[in-house]
Amino acid sequence: MAGFLSFGAHGQKKNYPVFSKAVYSGNDQVYKDNPLEEDEFYNPILQGCYPDPAITRKGDDYYMVCSSFAMFPGVPVFHSNDLVNWTQIGHVLDRTSQLDVHNTGISQGVYAPGITYNPHNDTFYMITTAFAGGLGNIVVKTKDPEQGWSEPIKLGFDGIDPDIFFDDDGRAYVVHNDAPEEALYEGHRVIKVWEYDVEKDRVILGTDKVVVNGGVDLSQQPIWIEAPHIYKKDGRYYLMCAEGGTGGNHSEVIFVSDSPEGPYKPAPSNPILTQRYFPKKRKNKVDWAGHADLVQGPDGRYYGVFLAIRPNEKDRVNTGRETFILPVDWSGEFPVFENGLVPIQPKLKMPEGVVNKMGQEGYFPNGNFTYEEDFSSENLDYRWIGLRGPREAFISKVKNGLQIEPFDANIKELKPTSTLFYRQQHNTFSFTTTMDYKPRSEKDLAGMVCLQNESSNYVFGITRKGKDYVLLLERTRKDRGDSQARSDILASTVIDIEKPIQLQVDADGDEYRFNYAIDGSGFKNLGGTVSGDILSTNVAGGFTGALIGLYATSANDTVPF
């Protein structure tokens, strides 16, 4: 990757685990069945939990952001010159002064960021809703997205999914989702527009107007009109929104007006993007498409980035909401996503003159790939993230790799955890790490965690019972209707850990297997084949995808049998 964050070097502590290697390898059948031709690239462009994309352009530079919820740092930001090859250049909210998610569920925190370049003052704006830390709707700014962003400026309005539009005359407007004065049905929402004071960075009180009530057709009781963006083309203003909820009925709809403040008239051909009309058993299924943003490409054509999912064979959503892209035909009055109203295919033709460099020269990998990390660099790749707090609070570089200082909190608590996460990016994958660790007591545990949320996860790690070192596999889940999650040890075994141990999760769709190897003598399985159901968004709930973590705790509450 092109961007990194440095982490300190410290002396190794005897009871702190050291991870000397991590290897992630994806092997989805869809990519083997659909090899790329020279002029093609794969969709999605960001695999794994990178939902709610928003995009902007300054000259030949494109910048894109995604939701991050309670992950830390927040709001990953990406750069491209061609809309095909992307590098991560950092995170927008990378300081605790900007983002306080220390006691929130994983699906709280930062929702649906918008990013807009204002040519009138040569400034980038990232606007979002932060469901934590008492922030609400906020905006941060920068002259250069690679050089960091300002402290958050609180904006005085309710609702979610804000975005900023800068008109040709320099005037600015904020558009967002909000609750109606009187809800007519479950999921009834409105879209509001405010005038925005660019000098004082605040909405102008009293200027708010409801410009969409419910959605395209209120008589049909449309739900969850949200994620609005305003565009100007040929002197007219277009308002594009998501409609139908972020699940199986998700879609993108478009309206038009002669003023940024409305009134807006829906297009007669809505929706302009959805996957909800097709057989559930279709091959290489892509679903839940919506929450889109448009930009003009280097070839002069329009393109739209949006979220969608690629469920496994049991229709489970372990990779979460991912970032896709499609060309947009705007030759008529209204834009329409090309092939966005037919089943979305795994490959796209590249814009003319673009060379596919995915996975090379620091660009994000795509398709089937292997990512190896030995933690020998002075800098940590941006793909590694924390949960509810900074990575630097618990990681340090030591002679043999990456040392994790165990927090007095375990993976089931709503606290910052000492866990370094990597996103699951394929339905068929393996993740292997090498760990050197000797726990001192039953309260100490370190190893690997596969996590959808604090109530739905697998822990595969080493603890102590008496004089024995014990490797265990623990499953935590919260069934619908339950007030609390339940944790069960599925299997455990006494092991000799005089030398580093290899831990591995190997998944094929819904089937997950946890394996270990001592002295490099071949992997042994612990616990048999277990279901990945609890790692699925549509089983566990929430908005994230599965994360794989290097984990340590001094608050282990699971005693092996």
Query: What is the SS3 assignment for 2-44?
Result: CCEEECCECCCCCCCCEEEEEEEEECCHHHHHCCCCCCEEECC
Collapsing DSSP to helix, strand or coil, 347 comes out as strand
Residue with tokens 């280097």, as numbered in its chain: 298
Contact 13/323 with Cβ under 8 angstroms?
no
Out of 52, 94, 261, 293, which one is annotated catalytic? 52
Cis peptide leading into residue 17 (ω within 30°): no
How many whole angstroms separate alpha carbon 383 and alpha carbon 318?
17
The verdict on whether 226 is a catalytic residue reads: yes
Is residue 40 part of the annotated active site? The answer reads no
Of 321, 372, 404, 385, give the one whose Cα is nearest residue 88: 385
Three-class SS of residue 391? helix
Give the HSE-up count for residue 358: Cα atoms under 13 Å, Cβ half-sphere.
22
Q: Which is nearest to 396 in space by CA: 1, 4, 6?
A: 6
Name the residue with tokens 């091959």: 283
| Helix, strand, coil percent content, the chain, rounded in steps of 5 | 5, 45, 50
DSSP characters for 26-95?
Answer: E--HHHHHSPPPTTEEES-SB-SS--S-EEEEETTEEEEE---BTEESEEEEEEESSSSS-EEEEEEE-S
Task: Map residue 560 onto helix, strand or coil.
Answer: coil
C-alpha distances in Å from residue 277, one per residue of 62, 267, 286, 340: 32, 19, 12, 11
Q: Yes or no: say if 66 and 423 are a contact pair by the CB < 8 Å rule.
A: no
Dihedral of the alpha carbons of 242, 246, 248, 252, in degrees to the nearest 10: 10
Distance CA 61, CA 65 (A): 14
Contact by Cβ (8 Å): 524, 506: no
Q: Which of 28, 82, 161, 226 is catalytic?
A: 226
How far is 421 from 551, CA to CA, in rounded Å?
Answer: 9
Rounded distance between C-alpha atoms, residue 213 and residue 90, angstroms? 37
The catalytic residue positions are 52, 226
